[in-house]
Amino acid sequence: MLRKSPCIAAALLMTSLLSSCGSETVGRQNSEFVVVQNTTTDPVTETKTTEASTVPPETVPPTTEPFSMDVSIPENYEPPSSYVIEGVEAIMQEPELPTGCEVTALAEVLNFHGFKIDKVELCDGFMPIDYNGAVNMDYAYIGDPKLNNGFGCNAPVIMKTAYEYFESINSPAYAVDLTGTEFRDLFYQICEGRPVVVWSTIAQVESISHYIWTAANGEDMIFNDYQHCVALYGYDTEQGIVYVADPLEGNTTYDMERFERIYNNMFKQAIVICGDSETEGEFRRDPEIEGNKVWSRKAQLENASSEEASE
């Protein structure tokens, strides 16, 4: 980020009622299968004979529930004193994305979950971007993450970035916005094997919202000096440290208390990914996320080209 100083379903079971000459009605009665009385007449003796046969169970197609995970903390949950997720590797944002820490942190977590996605491809193809400040950082990355004077974005933008990416590969995986969660409660996600994308600051500088103005859409734009984003993947309460994949510093540790204060100052923004590259199922639509009509760099260029061609 800036060196930014200042730069932000139940299937319906149908009952078949079959009736024909010489047979009784067939169906389900009190959840039991009934006997079919096939009655025929002997042409010599004119006596009736009856054969009994059972009706096989009706075949019901299986139903598939959409993939979902419960990320809520169980009642009375007590995390262990320390836990570190193995295999989380830092991805350096520079030189390609000098102010693109948010999308890089997302790439770190996606790659941990087995999605082989390049940070620049993720940035260009899926992250909403606004070069002119028409909206605030809840709708798009403001500025250009490929430049040193880009601002940044908030959690809803990274939510949409992940959403657009999962749609492109028809994955049932999805992101969950944990913004507002108390810092120590994030430890539950870590213990469940889910690294957390967390908003922090460069070099753990404790900053406040120095920059506040009105975006073109009439909403406030709020930006903290040195805004940054990392992947939190471990902690140790006895040593008082947290383990992070920092797009500027690599895999490192930071003082837990200081990290928590900065997390609070950055409006307690956090995101986790549910599911991985091996999760079976299909992409699930979310109308709320689709309500954001700001598009990625790639989509904007494609739309512009399409408009030019139609003129």
21-57: per-residue pLDDT in tens? 333 333 333 333 333 344 444 444 444 444 444 545 5
Residues in the chain: 311
pLDDT of residue 11: 33
| H-run or E-run covering 83 | strand 82-84
DSSP states along 24-63: --B-EETTEEPEEEEEEE-TTT--EEEEEEEPPPPP----
pLDDT of residue 64: 67
82-310 topology per CATH = Cathepsin B; Chain A (3.90.70)
**Does 265 have pLDDT greater than 90?**
yes
CA dihedral defined by 79, 205, 86, 267, rounded to 10 degrees? 50
> Which burial class, exposed, middle or buried, applies to 2 when counting CB atoms under 10 A from its CB (0-12, 13-18, 19+)?
buried
Per the model's pLDDT, the better-predicted residue between 172 and 60 turns out to be 172
- Tens digits of residue pLDDT in 221-260: 777 789 999 999 999 999 999 999 999 999 999 999 999 9
Per the model's pLDDT, the better-predicted residue between 35 and 138 turns out to be 138
Query: Which whole-number Å values give the CA distances from 160 to 188, 199, 294, in the listed order?
Result: 24, 16, 10
List the single range of 81-85, 205-209, 291-295 with lowest mean pLDDT: 205-209
Tokens of 210: 């120095």
- Tens digits of residue pLDDT in 287-305: 999 999 999 999 999 988 8
Say if CB 227 and CB 4 are below 8 A apart.
yes
pLDDT of residue 57: 56
Q: Report domain extents, the chain.
A: 17-57, 82-310
Per the model's pLDDT, the better-predicted residue between 178 and 224 turns out to be 178
pLDDT of residue 238: 98
- Between vectors from CA 291 to CA 290 and to CA 292, what angle results, nearest 5°? 90
Per the model's pLDDT, the better-predicted residue between 211 and 157 turns out to be 157
pLDDT of residue 39: 44
User: Where are the strands (E) in 224-287, listed by range?
Assistant: 227-236, 241-246, 250-255, 270-274
pLDDT band at residue 219, thresholds of 50, 70 and 90? confident
CA dihedral defined by 102, 107, 112, 113, rounded to 10 degrees? 110
CB burial string 263-272: b at 16+ within 10 A, e below? bebbebbbbb
Q: What is the pTM of this model?
A: 0.79
Please state, as a whole number, how many other Cβ atoms lie within 10 Å of the Cβ of residue 289.
17
Phi, psi of 158 (to 5 degrees): -70, -30
**Average pLDDT over the chain, rounded to whole?**
84
